[in-house]
Chain A
Amino acid sequence: MINEFIYLMKHELMLCVILFSLLIMKIASNDENSGRWHLMINLLLLVNLLVGFCYNISGELFNGMFQSSELIQLEKNILNLGLLIISLQAHPYTRTHRHAPEFYILLLSSVLGMFFMLSSGHLLLFYIGLELSTIPLAALANFNLNKSASSEAGMKMIMSSAFSSAFLLMGISLMYGTTGSLSFSEITLQLTGAPLQVFAFVMLFVGFAFKLSIVPFHFWTADVYEGAPVSVAAFLSVISKSAIAFVFVTVLYSVFESMVNVWYILLFITAVLTIGIGNLFALRQENIKRFLAFSSIAQVGFILVGISGGTQESEASVIYFLLIYIFSNLGAFGVVNIVSSITSKESINDYKGFYKTNPALSWIMTISLFSLAGIPPTAGFFGKLFLLTAGASTGNYVLIAFAAINMVVSMYYYLRIVKAMFMEANEHPIQKISFSLFPSIALIICIVGILLTGFSGNLYTYIYELSIGI
């Protein structure tokens, strides 16, 4: 019994252990910013990642409120991996920051919230997890305490998320009113498709949409990314997005399965909007963080296309894509992180002639961007095409055609940066940057991931076997 409990909640428990040890250290020690300390925390996260892989069993706790399966644990492991990469990349930033431990505490508690959300079998736990993952992020967005942009970002984030959670709660309450239960299994049985229920569902959907920054609920995204520290922006765009997407797929496919006609319409509309608007805004960005924000919005649109398929392939493709997306996006953010934390240059024009001074970084950036754009042989190619293939299974080729054409548009702005780095001259290019071990490890992980994940058909097959679909 007890060890089943441990096995099922091992991810959460592990995180709690790290959190508390951090708290204690914060209280106990006074030189929390030494290199030793950073090494330690990253090692802890590595351990955390590795622990995630052992004893994968599926079951449920607290009579169904907390449930776990191999798939969920896989997703948690993916998140852990991303977390590790981010903490490695954050090194140049945190090393110079007064409150490094708080940074990690907030980060980890947010991840903890995501884990709860992932394993939630009950709307209450889901809600708690959601808030737990959101609120610390708002604080993190504000982590450059004396930068006005940063605090503006934090403000925008907390305000909009609170506003959206009000809608989410409204949806939950109505769902409760119409089904008489808050646990997913119960709700599934009670769905009738009555208008009020549809309304409730749409409100839930909106809550998700906000977190996934689906157009038209995306407005906070770009501002927050721009204002927040790069590592936080990376976390927002990769980890929290993937977590929500995982939950989204499970909720749609297993809980609201019978409402497929409703959410297909929703997905169709929002996917078109998300891809289109995301691209149109990404086209005209000059700040690279903001650019990445909008590009990630567009990426979400593709995820929606994949989800709309509703088959086992769809679920597998979405998870597979998110894994690849973590590598690709973190690769790009990693470079941006290093550049901005060392030279504090964040405009795309600053990257002109980048190749002359930093060939390695430029290649990493290029490969990551190619992967985001879906250009072979990078993994992004496979990820994106599988999403489209999954989406096409509904026979709605209009959506697919739209997405495919937008892939070309996105190609333009990704290549634009490559062009800036390789082809355009610049009298004051970014100087030669030398950076510490941690970020380079992170970047290497990303590149290896980008180059290998795509070709590993077995990985896809593995995910495919775990996933259920409708």
Chain B
Amino acid sequence: MNLHLLVIAPIVTAVFILFFKELRQVRMIALLGAGFQLIISVLLLSTFCNERAAGNTAPMLFYNSVEWFSPLGIAFTTGIDGISLSMILLSAFVVLAGVLVSWKMEKMSREFFFLLTLLSAGAYGFFISLDLFTLFFFLEIAVIPKFMLIGIWGSGRKEYSAMKLALMLMAGSAFVFLGLLGLYFSTNVGNGQHTFDFIAISRSAIPLDTQLLFFPLAFIGFGIFGALFPFHTWVPDGHSSAPTAASMFLAGISMKLGGYGCLRVATYLMPEAAHVYAPYIILLATIAIIYGAFATMMQTDLKYINAYSSVSHCGFVLLGIGMLNETAIAGAVMQMISHGLMTALFFAAIGMIYERTHTRMVAQLGGLLKVMPFISTIFIISGLCSLGLPGFSGFVAEMTVFMGSWQHTEMFYRIATILSCASIVVTAVYILRAAGKSIMGPLANEQHLSLGDATWNEKSAAVLLLSGIVVIGIAPFWLNELISPDVNGLMVNIGRTFIP
């Protein structure tokens, strides 16, 4: 199965969109495109599972390499394993949901859907590329559409947030690029030629001092995408100013690029350095988790609440990666997927509320459960998911991270783990505060009585994401089977200097 399809499909869709003007046509095309992407990804999943079942244990399936800039050792190399596949599925879900929730985007609809689709192309490309340059290319492709989406269709201090997001993410990718250059020049494929090829680099032994120099660059670079403390400040502003779909993409996809990169590029390719720096990563992650959670408590804007909670939740991803053992890393991957779906759902719900009440201030909302039961239920469910209720994906992911983290017996790791566990209480507090005030309680505003409940497209978007969440929450074993062999594969490299 040709992975290029994953990139081509959105691009073709985007190009098609340019030919139409009417919202009706444009959104239809976008929807078809997104649906097609979902179908491709599901097909990919099935073929992948068959391949694996047939005993194909190659680290990367559907491997394919096309010459690109051969003098610089750059090729368009693609291939996937369970981890990237799960990420692709996540993206497909979020993209489709995103298109659905922005169904009534009247303002400059063509440009909106064009950028949205372009963004998804970047995400897919990132997850399938096995060539660091291509990977970086797609990483950056995914940035600028966000700038436009927030700046044009956003709300609040949109220009400020858009600029901030763009600059911080660009700074991140600058770091990433330095890290990649370091890797590039430490390879050698004969007569002084270097290569960006992922697999080649993963096989080459990179001297420790090089790693020590470039691991922080790469990790911080990707970390900025993944809301690594203290480089997370784009998250609240960006998310809260963005239009609903863009927030969903940001939280559901972009932040995952960061986590994925931290795991795949930084940690996997420079394991020795990772072991050296692990304590710092864990320190930052723990701070992000607990401090993000407390900062969330004080927020009064629903989107800010969710954005800060994303900081806290993405902390679990980095924590899992920093723990550098199989369980924790598996947990980190699960957390990425879970957080992607859950936060996207949360933002969708908030967006629906905002669309109707034109406010996101908790103080001005109340008793919405009476007015819009469906949306409120969705809101509560995503809240429960984000506080890690069993039966939803969040629980599975967080518990896996905890179990993994606890395997370190040093006191420092133990304390970090306990603090992270403590965050589930804080999460409960702020989620219930938000839900209790805005969804439950007496009706805050009489005009709200006239508001309607979700429309078909919003419902289907919510159900789509919810199904993902619940499936993972009820039957995590299949996801585990999907990713754990490849996490094993990663551990071969990461664990190679593991000091027990």
Contacts and interface: CB of A to CB of B under 8 A. Distances in A.
Given A401-B178, A461-B69, 20 more contacts: A375-B144, A376-B141, A377-B141, A385-B133, A386-B69, A386-B72, A389-B184, A393-B185, A397-B213, A400-B181, A404-B175, A405-B174, A407-B170, A408-B170, A411-B167, A415-B166, A416-B163, A418-B148, A422-B148, A423-B152
Contacts of B133: 385
A316 interface: yes
B185 A313 contact: no
B104 to A, nearest CB: 21
Given A407-B170, A419-B159, A397 B140 contact: no
A400 B174 CA distance: 10
A192 to B, nearest CB: 29
B156 to A, nearest CB: 13
B171 interface: yes
A339 interface: no
Contact of B151 (A375, A407, A419, A457): A419
Interface string B119-159: 00000000000000100111011011001100110000011
Interface in A355-392: 370, 375-377, 381-382, 385-386, 388-389, 392
A408 B148 CA distance: 17
A388 B170 contact: no
B68 interface: yes
Nearest to B196: A389
Contacts of B185: 392-393, 395
B82 to A, nearest CB: 28
Contact of B68 (A400, A405, A457): A457
Contacts of A354: none
Nearest to A409: B167
Contact of B181 (A370, A381, A392): A392
B276 to A, nearest CB: 19
Main secondary structure of the interface of B (DSSP, over half): helix
A66 interface: no
Q: How large is the interface on A (under 10, 10 to 19, 20 to 34, 35 or more residues)?
A: 35 or more
Interface string B348-374: 000000000000000000000000000
B181 A388 contact: yes
B162 A375 contact: no
B70 interface: yes
Sorted nearest first, the 7 A-B pairs with minimum C-beta distance are A404-B174, A464-B71, A457-B68, A423-B151, A457-B69, A408-B171, A376-B141
30 contacts: A375-B144, A376-B137, A376-B138, A376-B141, A381-B140, A385-B136, A386-B69, A388-B177, A392-B185, A400-B181, A404-B178, A405-B171, A405-B174, A408-B167, A408-B171, A408-B174, A412-B167, A415-B166, A415-B167, A418-B148, A419-B151, A419-B159, A419-B162, A423-B151, A423-B158, A424-B159, A457-B68, A457-B69, A457-B70, A457-B74
The residue among B133, B136, B166, B182 with the most chain A CB atoms within 10 A of its own CB is B166
A423 B149 CA distance: 10
B446 interface: no
A309 to B, nearest CB: 11
Contacts of A461: 69-71
Nearest to A416: B163
A460 interface: yes
A163 B147 CA distance: 45
Interface in B178-198: 178, 181-182, 184-185
Contacts of B152: 422-423
A389 B167 CA distance: 22
DSSP class of A's interface residues: helix, strand, loop or mixed? helix
A61 to B, nearest CB: 31
B29 to A, nearest CB: 19
A319 to B, nearest CB: 13
Given A370-B144, A392-B185, A381 B137 contact: yes
Contacts of B151: 419, 422-423
Interface in B191-237: 213
Nearest to B213: A397
Contacts of A370: 144
A376 B140 contact: yes
A107 B181 CA distance: 41
B174 to A, nearest CB: 4
Given A375-B144, A401-B178, A422-B148, A313 B71 contact: yes
Contacts of B71: 312-313, 316, 460-461, 464
Interface in A412-451: 412, 415-416, 418-419, 422-424
A286 B442 CA distance: 53
A316 B72 CA distance: 10
B406 to A, nearest CB: 38
A350 to B, nearest CB: 18
Contacts of B410: none
Interface in A134-182: none
A408 B162 CA distance: 14
B163 A389 contact: no
A103 B177 CA distance: 45
A235 B140 CA distance: 31
Given A407-B170, A422-B148, A423-B152, A397 B70 contact: no
B72 A404 contact: no
Contact of A423 (B159, B166, B213): B159
Contacts of A381: 137, 140
Contacts of A424: 159
A313 B67 CA distance: 17
Contact of B163 (A377, A393, A415): A415
A381 B171 CA distance: 15
Interface in A54-84: none
Contacts of A457: 67-70, 74
Residue among B144, B152, B182 with most chain A CB within 10 A:
B144
